[in-house]
Amino acid sequence: MSTSIIRPRTKAFVFDLDGTLIDSVDTHVITWIKAFKVATGMSVSEEQIYPLIGMSGRDIVRKVLGDVSELEYARIRWVKDRAFMKELKEGRVTLFPGVTQALRMIKMKGYLIGMASSTPNRLLLHIMDYLGITSFFNAITGGDEVKKGKPDPEIFLKTIRKLGVAPSEAVVVGDTAYDAYPAHMIGSTPILVNTCKAPNGVVATTFCMFHEFTEALKASLMYGNRPRLFRA
């Protein structure tokens, strides 16, 4: 039995970046570990960092170190960002298969596309440019534009306002509870990719791989201007 996961009134798609459009979670974990070691001398494990990916950088540092000064946070962040950009330029951060095709199809059908990423704009815009996806987006919101990071819905609401639509007219596509919970809270349609199970308490359609979402989108566009994505 198939179930529609796109509401008839949908006008926009809002995407998370890391772990959703780009294969970068492992790289973020590695570079956060390096940043804590270089900037503070503290050794942290992958098990400590993995569950935090998706939060803002400040919240990650707060979870690991507690409250720190602006100077100490800036030092950690400087090391982290330089290490991540080095990994990007050496080809260890890539788009998931099907991403460009999905963005192109959504754009061609006249939907608006927004980006809502915890990554600060100074990095976010560079990453998007480097991977060739910036032109698909009508609105981009980085983590430095909001006071509260995910899972607070502020970054999604801000992006949706930039697009000029109502939250109920937006589909939020992410990869973790940090995307699904806020989407659910504001009345948007949550879709999770690169994960096979929705978080507890949230009804969200999931696609184990991004390319599965792309194929569902492609098939749905056969039914007219309003996509009707289906998942068996």
Q: Cα–Cα distance between 30 and 130 in angstroms, integer?
A: 20
Position 203 confidence tier, pLDDT thresholds 50, 70, 90: confident
Residues paired with 205 in a beta bridge: 191
Tens of pLDDT, residue by residue over 12-34, are 999 999 999 999 999 999 999 99
- Which contiguous run of DSSP H or E holds residue 160? helix 154-163
Computed on alpha carbons and rounded to an integer, the radius of gyration of the chain in Å comes to 17
pTM listed for this prediction: 0.90
In 3D space, the residue among 221, 217, 216 whose CA is nearest the CA of residue 232 turns out to be 216
Kindly report the average pLDDT of the chain as a whole number.
91
Q: Cα–Cα distance between 61 and 29 in angstroms, integer?
A: 12
Looking at domain 25-89, its CATH class is mainly alpha
Position 1 confidence tier, pLDDT thresholds 50, 70, 90: very low
Domain 3-24+94-231 indexed as CATH 3.30.230.70: no
Question: Quick one: pLDDT at residue 201?
Answer: 84
Position 218 confidence tier, pLDDT thresholds 50, 70, 90: confident
Residue with tokens 């959703």, as numbered in its chain:
20
Average pLDDT over residues 68-87: 96
Q: Cα–Cα distance between 197 and 139 in angstroms, integer?
A: 28
Handedness of CA 196, 104, 10, 116 (dihedral sign): positive
Q: Cα–Cα distance between 114 and 19 in angstroms, integer?
A: 16
Question: Quick one: pLDDT at residue 200?
Answer: 87
User: Where, residue-wise, is CATH 3.40.50.1000 in the chain?
Assistant: 3-24+94-231
Q: Which residue has the higher pLDDT, 228 or 99?
A: 99
Position 228 confidence tier, pLDDT thresholds 50, 70, 90: very low
Position 223 confidence tier, pLDDT thresholds 50, 70, 90: low
Neighbours of 144 (CB within 10 A): 15
Tens of pLDDT, residue by residue over 101-119, are 999 999 999 999 999 999 9
Question: Quick one: pLDDT at residue 27?
Answer: 97
Average pLDDT over residues 176-199: 94
Tens of pLDDT, residue by residue over 139-167, are 999 999 999 999 999 999 999 999 999 99
Please give the DSSP secondary-structure letter assigned to residue 18. B
User: Where, residue-wise, is CATH 1.10.150 in the chain?
Assistant: 25-89
